A and B are shown apart, each in its own frame.
Chain A
Amino acid sequence: MTRNVRLESNAILPDRELRLFLEGLDGEGAVVNFTGLARPRSSDGEEVTGLFLDHYPGMTQTSLERIASESLVRFSGLKVTVVHRIGAVVAGEPIVFVAAAALHRREAFEAAQYVMDRLKTEAVFWKREDRAGGSSWIEPTAHDLSRLGK
Chain B
Amino acid sequence: MIAEAEVKILMFGSLGEQIGREIFEELSADGCTIGELRQRLVAKDPSRQGLLDPAIRASVDQILVKEDFVVRPGHELAFFPMLSGG
Contacts and interface: CB of A to CB of B under 8 A. Distances in A.
Q: Do A and B bind each other?
A: yes
Interface in B1-18: 10, 12-14, 16-17
B81 A137 contact: yes
Given A54-B13, A59-B62, A126 B83 contact: yes
Interface string B68-81: 00000000001011
Query: Of A55, A119, A137, which is in contact with the most chain B CB atoms at under 10 Å from its CB?
Result: A137
Nearest to A84: B86
B86 A59 contact: no
Interface residues of B, number: 16
A56 B12 contact: yes
A59 to B, nearest CB: 4
A145 to B, nearest CB: 9
Interface of A: 36, 54-56, 58-59, 62, 64, 84, 95-96, 119-128, 137-140, 144
